[in-house]
Amino acid sequence: MALIVQKFGGTSVADIDKIKNVAQKAIREKKAGNKVVVVLSAMAGETDRLIALAHKAADSPDPREYDSLISTGEQVTVTLLSIVLNSMGHPARSFLGFQVKILTDKAYKKARIVSIDTEEIKKELKKGRIVVVAGFQGVDDDNNITTLGRGGSDTSAVALAAALKADQCDIYTDVDGVYTTDPNVCDKARRLDKISYDEMLEMAMTGAKVLQPRSVEMAKKYNVPVYVKSTFSEEGGTLVTKEDKDMEKEVVSGITYDRDQAKITVVHVPDKPGIAAALFTPLSEQNISVDMIIQNASLEGHTDLTFTVSKKDLKDAQKIVNSAAKKIGAKKVEVDDDVAKISIIGVGMASHSGVAATMFKTLADEGINIMMISTSEIKISCVIQRKYTELAVTVLHNAFGLEKKK
């Protein structure tokens, strides 16, 4: 008897018929003799609707109440699925984060899971019930409801799989696996049978939203085999696992994009020690992650500092940066949220020259201006104008021959 965690995303539970389809998938695993834990997202669009309501209610909604509010979409789907399963004669029980208890830290909107109490779930499984757990939510040690960041039910599922020592974690979604790039943006995208944790992590971190980055981090740490599968078709599938010999060792194996980026430039900053710290320390204290950073060459003792933050952090970041900029004597702060980050990923990149040049030339040939560049051993990212996102993905996919490789 195996223990299987199945996670279904928003489009997979968008209405009652789809929830009935999810029930069939859980029942199938149960009938095959497995113990089944199902993790659900909210219905497609529901979390966005709740977020919009919070921002209609107040400019800066109180974070505790905000998390409590946006976690409610999952309560609807887990209870509906349990109702459906029970009515079909398959005993099931739903659990919210605090009922499990999925303990997190106190970072509202992007809480990290600290521990999961598996006792209650194990008891239910022993009784032969299907256990249905609300994704995306947890509780801190003061009993406040927290959420795990957008796309966080992936992380709930992998964390539960790790804590329960599950044999497998199946992530069911609206595409039939992980592709060389977003198949909804580039029709030449190719599905991968297998991808290593490291490459998947890099793809997730640079924008491929098929898996939340933390879910991949966790899968790697606890060695959880993750299968990305389609809810709507039996075909395909991608296994995310440890790197092995028969995995593709391409120079470039994937292209990603991230439209959730905003660029902030602090203009004419005195070029002296402590300036970067004065800007970035208050941002990190407010839990705002800074992604790419560039500092221009100094001219007559002054320089410009440009960096990117997630769009959802922009308002808060702007306040902090405006105040820090005054203190350090910068001339002004400029913001551009009409940008996107395009990245190419590949473990083989470090040992090959000319990859960056190919990327830059490909973009230049299309008249796409590069505003910022950052590189790591297995990725190169460029910030460009947002309107060129799809074009950039498509021409880079072609330039690196990703559709052809078998």
Q: Where along the sequence are the contacts to Mg ion (CB under 5 A)?
A: 9, 151
The angle at the Cα of 164, spanning 159 to 167, to the nearest 5 degrees, equals 95
- The rounded distance, in Å, linking the Cα atoms of 284 and 388 is 30
| 3 state SS of 370 | coil
Nearer to ligand ADP, 77 or 265 (CB): 77
Instruction: Determine which residue in the list 140, 182, 258, 260 makes contact with ligand ADP, applying CB under 6 A.
Output: 182
Residues 17-56, mask of contacts with ligand ASP (x by CB under 6 A): ------------------------xx----x---------
What contacts 341, CB < 8 A, 6 or more positions away?
206, 207, 257, 258, 261, 291, 292, 308, 381, 382, 383, 384
* Burial degree of 17 (CB within 10 A; 0-12, 13-18, 19+): exposed
Residue 152 binds ligand ADP (CB under 6 A): no
Nearer to ligand ADP, 64 or 209 (CB): 209
Q: Considering the complex, what minimum distance in angstroms separates the CB of residue 138 from ligand ASP?
A: 12
Which residues partner with 265 through β-bridges? 306, 334
Nearer to ligand ADP (CB atom), residue 368 or residue 402: 402
Q: Which is nearer to ligand ADP, 175 or 266 (CB)?
A: 175
Question: Binds 132, which of Mg ion, ligand ASP, ligand ADP, none (CB < 5 to 8 A, cut-off by type)?
Answer: none
Using alpha carbons, select from 241, 304, 236, 237 the residue that is nearest to residue 270: 304
Least distance from C-beta 128 to Mg ion, angstroms? 30
DSSP assignment of 239-262 equals EEES--TTS---S--EEEEEEEEE
Nearest CA to 182 among 340, 20, 372?
340
Positions in 112-151 near ligand ASP (CB under 6 A): 135-136, 150-151
Question: Rule CB under 6 A: is residue 203 a binding residue for ligand ASP?
Answer: no
- Written as six digits, the tokens of 131 are 């256990």
9 binds ligand ASP, rule: CB under 6 A: yes
Report, in Å, the least distance between residue 227 CB and ligand ADP.
Answer: 13
Residue window 23-62: x/- pattern of binding to ligand ADP, with contact defined by CB under 6 A: ------------------x---------------------
* DSSP code at position 288: P
**With 0-12 CB in 10 A as exposed, 13-18 as middle and 19+ as buried, what is 365?**
exposed
Which chain residues interact with ligand ADP by CB under 6 A? 9-11, 41, 151, 173-175, 178-179, 181-184, 203, 208-210
| Residue ranges binding ligand ASP (CB under 6 A) | 9-10, 41-42, 47, 73, 135-136, 150-154
